[in-house]
Amino acid sequence: MKDNLTIQSLTISIPAYNDSQSLVKLVEESQNLCKQLNLNFEMLIINDGSHDDTLKVAHDLASKYGNIKIVNHEKNLGFGETLKKVFMLPKTEWVLFLPGDNQFPVSNLLKFLDIKDNYDYILGFRKERKDTANRKLYSLFYNSVVSFLSGYKVKDVNSIVFYRSKIFETIKLKGNSAFVHAEFFIRTSKANFRITEMEVLHQEREFGFGSGGNLRVAINTFKELFLYIAGKI
């Protein structure tokens, strides 16, 4: 293994909501890759009140592999509350955030590891997004606003992230909606951590439906964005 791939410890942190079918593939591919790289790693799965068999699947995977921790929300708390835990609970040196829908292959980890020594926060961006035209347009506007607030021109703030957990010794996330993702980026940038973006692979969802394009989710996200601008969160 190349020296630049070596890290002390890693958590692959996964939010899951009705992702029973995709979760198995994501976890198994993650386990295989990290073992091939001889990494000291664990996985965290946060089940946000799923209505399908996501919790059972997670427990089955934890029994099989032994290095998986599970946090369960008895009822759905929403993406923002789940994201805060996904980002802030891990205490390993590095954390990789991967959504439970498996649209981001864990093989993207290799790209992050290759440049990690120069950064504290690496954000992936999807050059070829497998999303609808409306969602792409919404993202373009949202990323423009986040770029203005952070002082860093960001292409794809709602993407996967590879970051040092020590960031949360300095910042705290206060949002409750999907804005938490952008809040993490903005606060990290303003705290002068070393950040960058790099292209990552993005694949079509095999199972289920995403909530990111949901109108209610979008409205709540923009409400908190304006609250942040007003200094209220």
Chain segment 22-61, per-residue pLDDT in tens: 999 999 999 999 999 999 999 999 999 999 999 999 999 9
What residue numbers bound the domain in which 104 lies? Answer: 8-229
pTM, two decimals, is 0.92
Distance CA 144, CA 149 (A): 9
On whether residue 222 sits in a domain, the answer given is: yes
Q: Is residue 143 part of a domain?
A: yes
Does the residue 3 lie in any domain?
Answer: no
Domain assignment present for residue 133? The answer is yes
Mean per-residue pLDDT of the chain: 92
Q: Which residues contact 22 (CB under 8 A, 6 or more apart)?
A: 100, 101, 102, 205, 206, 207, 208
- The residue that leads in pLDDT, 132 or 86, is 86
Residue 48: give its domain's CATH number.
3.90.550.10
In a domain, 127, yes or no: yes
* pLDDT of amino acid 16: 97
Q: What is the mean pLDDT of residues 133-147?
A: 86
What average pLDDT does range 195-216 have in this prediction? 77
Say how many domains are in the chain: 1
**pLDDT of 208 higher than 60:** no
Q: Where are the beta strands (DSSP E) in the chain?
A: 10-16, 41-48, 68-73, 94-97, 121-126, 161-164, 195-200
Q: pLDDT tens digit string along 3-12?
A: 566 799 999 9
Residue 121, pLDDT score: 98
Question: Would the pLDDT of 170 be above 90?
Answer: yes
User: Which pLDDT value is given to residue 136?
Assistant: 76
* Share above pLDDT 70 across residues of the chain, in percent, rounded to a whole number: 93
Computed on alpha carbons and rounded to an integer, the radius of gyration of the chain in Å comes to 17
Residue type, 208: G
94 assigned to some structural domain: yes
In a domain, 1, yes or no: no
* Residue 2 belongs to a domain: no
Instruction: Say what the pLDDT of residue 130 is.
Output: 61
Cβ neighbours for 197, distance < 8 A, ≥ 6 positions apart: 122, 123, 124, 125, 154, 155, 156
pLDDT number for residue 206:
67
* pLDDT beyond 60 at 80: yes
The residues near 215 (Cβ < 8 Å, ≥ 6 apart) are: none
